[in-house]
Amino acid sequence: MSDSVSLDPVDLEILRVLQNDARTTNRDLAAAVGIAPSTCLDRVARLRRAGVILGHRLQLDPAKLGRGLEALLMVQVRPHRRELIGPFVDRVRGLPESRALFHLTGPDDYLVHVAVTGPADLQRLVLDEFTSRKEVARVETRLIFQQWECGPLLPGDPT
């Protein structure tokens, strides 16, 4: 069963414009996609109700907030059981350094994107918040030199 929603070219253009600038006014959005503002408002509301548009988010620069070093932590949890991973996920999500958390297949169970003040802070985070936990079997760290946003996200070709 597919969770995808049927989108026409106007819907796709609305999504493209909003992904590039979520603060676009309804009037400007309607003009950009070539429809009336009332029609545009209805379409955006339908996309929200269908769960295609989940919300808006504020993007911050970690370096400007004193967290100029970003890293990816590959974490292996052993044993990989629900009663251990639930509290582990809650703990990682609650860390102020955590930016994103992914549950993976393969040799690593989790990928954690973190932002810290510097190398000593990263070492503290790994030692005190990860490897000190009894369920964490291994942590591998990769520094992020640069990152780029990609997108916009549009549905795949159905063929």
pLDDT in tens, the chain (159 residues): 357 788 999 999 999 999 988 999 999 999 999 999 999 999 999 999 999 999 988 888 999 999 999 999 999 999 988 999 999 999 999 999 999 999 999 999 999 999 999 999 999 999 999 999 999 999 999 999 999 888 778 776 655
Q: What is the dihedral of CA 120, 123, 125, 127, to 10 degrees?
A: -140
pLDDT value of position 116? 98
Q: Which residues, at least 6 apart from 12, have a Cβ–Cβ distance to it below 8 Å?
A: 154, 155
Q: Where are the domains of the chain?
A: 9-49, 62-144
Half-sphere exposure of 120 (CA within 13 A, CB side): 0
Nearest by Cα to 75 from 132, 149, 146: 132
Architecture in CATH for domain 9-49: Orthogonal Bundle (1.10)
Report the CATH fold assignment for 62-144.
Alpha-Beta Plaits (3.30.70)
What is the tally of helices (H) and strands (E) in the chain? 5, 4
As given in the structure block, the two tokens for residue 109 are 């169970």
Please state, in angstroms and rounded to a whole number, the distance separating the CA atoms of residues 16 and 41.
16
How much is the pLDDT for 80? 87
How much is the pLDDT for 69? Answer: 98
